[in-house]
Structure 1
Amino acid sequence: MMAFLQNCVYLLIKWFTRQRKPPFILLAAGVAILKMTGGFSWQVIFSFKDYGVTASNPEGNFITSVLVPLLGIILCLTGTIWAVCGAITDWRRNDRKRVVIIRGEGLRKVASSNIDSQIHKKHSGHLVHLDINITQNLRDGYVIRPAEVFRNSVQPLIRNLYQYLDSAAKGDTEIVYAGMLPVPFLFWIGNVLDDKGPVTLCDWNRATESWQIVSDDKPDDGDIFQQETVVEGSSEEIVVAVSFSYYADLANIQKCFPGLRVEHLYLKKISFDNHWSIEKQQRLSLQFIELVKTLQQQRVKRIHLILVAPSSVSVNFGRRYDSRNLPELIVYQYEKSDDDTYPWGIYAISHGREEGGFILRSEALES
């Protein structure tokens, strides 16, 4: 109940402080002036003898009874004409706009969901779907032939996305991501979406069992990452575990990455619904990047990332990771029921790995 009231107060404050459009400000000002003055109250007298027209008012106050209401009418007309012209311009612009929805069909169905109607509430334009469908290669959440899935189903996103971006004028294409895929694929998709402008993220709401937009309408709770060193070490390779929605399996991490230093980032409030504020996601992704920059100063050259987070957070972290200037990074898949808990990973896009790449953990530790 308290969270609901806080959200209502947040939306109310945002409504009062939001930027108003100038046409409607003029229109509102004109209506207010006419309301206060009661409109025109002058008399028009035609003089046929002198071929003239004179105006007067019963009270004799020409300014308050004539000029001020006239100003109100001018403001109303100006605001109305401006708003109509703006609506026509927006209509023409929206007719050119395309909204590219990248749908990750894996752990949850997207294509048959309510996602399109959700997007229409936020964006205008023609919807274009880019689907990444790996459902045929999932068995109870376990990815079968992950290297082949990445190469044939996920990596083509780069070429498909650029085809749409290159064929449209700058600013005429908006991007949306919705879907639940393995975390390594999601982080890599975030890499691809870096520098592509604003990206709207959708995630699965477990409470309502529907897709929901991660937006700035949700207040940031201010929670920050806490950091702990699980295993000491000074190697050029390091494991970074991030606990966002659940706690990372630290025991198996130490088992799968023996001898490596392990740093753990975790939130005080670990839950599956703590990610709906886009402001919070952006803030925490930058906190993660600051840690990586610190590790780089300590001469760390490769990071093995274990990310336990919702889909939208995983994409956002990938968007913020500048692999061309930061250390090489591999994001790993978690297979809880497998003896090999972190069997494979995906390289983040970087110099020399312009399209990322698949790698087994055993190979990564040997190289």
Structure 2
Amino acid sequence: MKNSNWLRGLVEQVVVFLLRPRHLGVALITASSFVLVSLGSGFDIKAKGLPGVVDVLEFSTGQGLTGHLLSAVTYLMCATWLAGLVMVVMTYWRERQDGDARRVLVVELRGLVDTSDRPLLGSLPRTLPGQRHDCSVNVRPYLSINPPQVEEALDELMHIRRQLRQVRGDTSRANVTVVAGGVMHVPLQFYVGTLLDDEGAVLLYDWERTEKRWKALNEADDDSRFNITGLEDVADAKEVVLAVSASYKVAMTDIAVTFADLPVVHLARENPLPNALWSEANQAALTQQFLQTLGSLANRGAKTVHLVLAAPATLCIRFGMAYDHRNMPELRCYQRDAGQLPPYPWSVRMPKDGQSVQYLPTAISTLAPAAA
């Protein structure tokens, strides 16, 4: 597997090199070198002048060109070659200066899967310019035990924003790119999204589970969108369950067990499958539907949204980035554990109205009568 990943990376680098934008300086050097080599077969060069100081170069050939014409062409090609070299050097220097000014802050979230042997920092393409800084957050020690220490994990994640601003320093936000990805509990991923919302340009990477590597969202949009049901049944309910089936179908029976007599709005892709949402455009469209649904619930007077989310990490983070705590209802994102009662044993309440993030065990009193 490691050999195949290495070969794949080599092929990707070769493809990037072949498809790179052509540089005029390189083209001039290539063309002039080709002409000089072509003329070089059978030329004589004579230098006139003092030893060590060349005054005149004379060229002659047996190929039919006069000496003066050959000299003119050769001088022109040498000047072209030097001009190309100057352009290449100037471009290299400018790119170096731009690279020194730009920064790439890599936030790898280590929670459920140990990706330390394949860090996100080392998986980024070379075409992404800027100094790279490792801003990884490891909460596996808190989440890999039973029961998971969610509050301690939240405390660690809370420092992400401060860490990014410290590393960014006085660099303009326009020169900073944040790259984020990770595998951890869904409510924590959503919370990380709320922390990244104000950090400028954000690129999201997801963990490709079958190939065990980081992957960008670079596939084509398959035009799959959410089918929205239950919105018309909300009426004036103050609390609403919002279920999202993006990579799996949410367990509606578990929702019925956990939440007592609450209306359920369901956002569902037609055929949700894991390890499948690899399109940036697709995720952006799904996020827009999620955002508009939250807005519709706010317009209907909902004060609290209980979010049950089955989605890949990138979409969870993206939803968190889109959530506007100022104008939307309070949101609690739930973790599912099918082996427990209730099946959604805890949630994370997102910051709102001056309240900080909070871990909330699901109260027994909220269980439906059938589970009592």
What's the TM-score bracket when you normalise by the shorter of the two chains? Answer: 0.7 to 0.9
The AA in structure 2 aligned to 1:144 is P
- Alignment of 1:327 onto 2:329: yes
DSSP 3-state at the match of 2:277: coil
Q: What are the equivalent positions in structure 2 for 1:1-367 lying under 5 Å apart?
A: 20=21, 24=23, 28=27, 80-123=85-128, 124-139=130-145, 143-150=147-154, 152-208=155-211, 210-216=212-218, 218-229=219-230, 232-234=233-235, 235-353=237-355, 355-362=356-363
C-alpha separation in 2, matches of 1:177 and 1:322: 20
After TM superposition, give the deviation of residue 19 of structure 1 in Å: 9.3
After TM superposition, give the deviation of residue 291 of structure 1 in Å: 1.6
C-alpha separation in 2, matches of 1:30 and 1:88: 18
RMSD: 4.2
Deviations 1:1-22 (A, max 9, x none): xxxxxxxxxx9xx99xx9946x
The AA in structure 1 aligned to 2:114 is K
After TM superposition, give the deviation of residue 29 of structure 1 in Å: 8.4
Change (3 A) 1:34 1:158: closer
Deviations 1:253-287 (A, max 9, x none): 12211121101111123111211222221221112
The AA in structure 2 aligned to 1:289 is L
C-alpha separation in 2, matches of 1:295 and 1:230: 8
Relative to the length of structure 1, the TM-score reads: 0.75
Point out where structure 1 has 5 or more consecutive residues left out of the alignment: 1-10, 41-57, 60-65
C-alpha separation in 2, matches of 1:78 and 1:269: 58
Relative to the length of structure 2, the TM-score reads: 0.74
DSSP 3-state at the match of 1:204: strand
Change (3 A) 1:33 1:126: closer
Given that 1:246 and 1:272 are in contact with CA atoms closer than 8 Å, whether structure 2 keeps it comes out as: yes
C-alpha separation in 2, matches of 1:120 and 1:35: 32
C-alpha separation in 1, matches of 2:297 and 2:231: 15
C-alpha separation in 2, matches of 1:226 and 1:245: 14
DSSP 3-state at the match of 2:240: strand
DSSP 3-state at the match of 1:274: coil
The AA in structure 2 aligned to 1:133 is V
Point out where structure 2 has 5 or more consecutive residues left out of the alignment: 1-11, 40-63, 66-71, 368-372
Deviations 1:168-223 (A, max 9, x none): 44344432223211111100101111131222222221221x2223233x111111
The AA in structure 2 aligned to 1:291 is T
Change (3 A) 1:231 1:122: same
Change (3 A) 1:360 1:85: same
Given that 1:245 and 1:274 are in contact with CA atoms closer than 8 Å, whether structure 2 keeps it comes out as: yes
The AA in structure 1 aligned to 2:161 is I
After TM superposition, give the deviation of residue 74 of structure 1 in Å: 8.1
C-alpha separation in 2, matches of 1:163 and 1:82: 36
1:52 aligns with none
DSSP 3-state at the match of 1:288: helix
Given that 1:27 and 1:78 are in contact with CA atoms closer than 8 Å, whether structure 2 keeps it comes out as: no
Residues 119-128 or 334-343, more deviating: 119-128
Percent identity reads 23
Change (3 A) 1:80 1:291: farther
DSSP 3-state at the match of 2:214: strand
DSSP 3-state at the match of 2:200: coil
DSSP 3-state at the match of 1:110: coil
Given that 2:240 and 2:302 are in contact with CA atoms closer than 8 Å, whether structure 1 keeps it comes out as: yes
C-alpha separation in 1, matches of 2:79 and 2:224: 51
